[in-house]
Amino acid sequence: MADTTTLFPAEERDKLTLRLQNAVNGFVDGPRGSVEEVDHVLEEAIAHLTDTLAERRRVLRSAWRTTPARSTADADGGAPPAAGMAPGGALATEGTGAYTPAPEASTTDTEQLRLALRDYRETAERLLRL
């Protein structure tokens, strides 16, 4: 039986998409604030995705672990987690992955912020399409 659970329920996806659009639209009036907001949107999307995938893995693992093994080759045998996965099923990450803005400095110009905003938006949009 196929799982019909979406990675992002429509309501959650729509809320994050609206926040993303509002942040992008507010860039002219507050570039730094816009970049900080899209950072938060991306962080929340990643956290939601990680939680959803970890829960899905728990369900899948419980299904095969509660059924008798056909052979010893089918058993987990303490194998290391798959690439990108931490023990217990969570996705492995380096730190929080959150964008930490530097203090307001004259060297941080609007073009750098514009490029950061663009990169965040593209990443968040790709994630929300999953």
* Residue 31 one-letter amino acid: P
Q: What is the DSSP string of 19-69?
A: HHHHHHHTTTT-HHHHHHHHHHHHHHHHHHHHHHHHHHHHHHHHHHHSSPP
Residue ranges per domain, the chain? 10-21+31-56+109-130
Residues 6+ apart with CB under 8 A from 86: 92
pLDDT tens series, the chain, 130 aa: 444 557 788 999 999 999 999 999 999 999 999 999 999 999 999 999 999 889 988 888 887 776 555 554 444 444 444 444 444 444 444 444 444 555 555 556 888 888 899 988 888 888 888 7
Indicate the pTM of the whole model. 0.59
Reported as type and span, the H/E element at residue 10 is: helix 10-25
